[in-house]
A and B are shown apart, each in its own frame.
Chain A
Amino acid sequence: MSILINKNTRVVVQGITGKQGSFHTKEMMNYGTNIVAGVTPGRGGMEVEGIPVFDTVAEAIEKQQADASVIFVPAPLAKEAAFEAIGAGIKVLVIVTEHIPFHDALQIVDYSVKKNVVQIGPNSFGICSAGQAKIGIPPNSIFTPGPVGVVSRSGTLTYEIVSNLSLRGVGQTTCLGLGGDSVVGLSFVDILRLFEKDNETRAVVLIGEIGGRQEEEASIYIKSMTKPVVGYIAGKSAPPGKRMGHAGAIIERGAGGFKSKVESLKQAGVKVAEIPSQVADYVADLLKR
């Protein structure tokens, strides 16, 4: 089992003819993802890695029944690409592109909500249902199928932790990156709900960071969850007013600090790891019970 995507998910790659797009198309295919189409305006009729390229997402849906899309197009064109996917009827949309103006993201999110689209990102590593399908850019090698759901705001830190989990023999149902920007499609709560409902998921790892208040909001929901949650929050040593790489990782105007997040999670019964490698320890412990 898994959430949101599985081996039957039919994926279109927007920006497939670009460097990133073509590289990750191959990687996703290597993982077993059912890539059915690519879209690059003006390149209809081409093939990339044996995958047919179309001029529009609507054509990719019409001819290849795509139901998910991943966006690799450059930031200035990403809003239009997202609108195209949402408008054409894509159900799961992953936006990998970084540096999309957040005013564009506000509009993308709004349209996604209106059209009931699960929109992941911008600036997300994507989503991987272990052993089934990967939409996005995380390394294929780190995932192992198993009972843990992982949801995170960052990329490499998540790879580090998932890798630890796999090395300890703790596999994953689905791992999902919400995206590091200040405005992204989903929040922790949305994904926690799905993991709570998913039969195969027995525990959840939540990897948060400073900035915003979604960890605090997640804590409220976690109180009602039946499944255990292990957390890690990055940014303990970050000074206020500074953007720590991610556009969303900033303590400003008294909000978004480390302490409030950790305390909220702890109050909700989350076991919060102090250093990344503890996460796998905690999860392994929990699953033994």
Chain B
Amino acid sequence: MNANTRVLITRRPLSVEAARRAVARPDCGGICVFAGTVRNRNEGRRVSKIRYSAFESMALRQFRAIAAEARKKFGLRAVYIAHRVGLLKLGEASVVCAAASPHRAEAFAGCRRLIERVKKLAPIWKEEFHGRGKTWVNRA
């Protein structure tokens, strides 16, 4: 565990303000925050709501590894990764990442790295609900 890394998985709404506060440091001039939100359509299909589920302990472990890699790669001073699980309505945030750095280029690049790696690695799954049913997203 590291004071400069905060990761969480929660059933409650996510907050970009909480992310900003978590990574704010007196020596950092730039904070980049990314929020991924539930869209009203995906691959041409209208979505009414979605449900995320996670293998929570493994996902948190992945988040910490992702955070450590990004901190090292971009010299980030602080990193935040939060993912929501349970039922989400349209427009709600499913994921919030944040990175703080003395300089803004690294804050942007680091935050981007966080979300790319979370999407690729974290054991989290998504069910999309349509009018008549639901599908598991990315089900091969």
Q: Judge: A and B partners, yes or no.
A: no
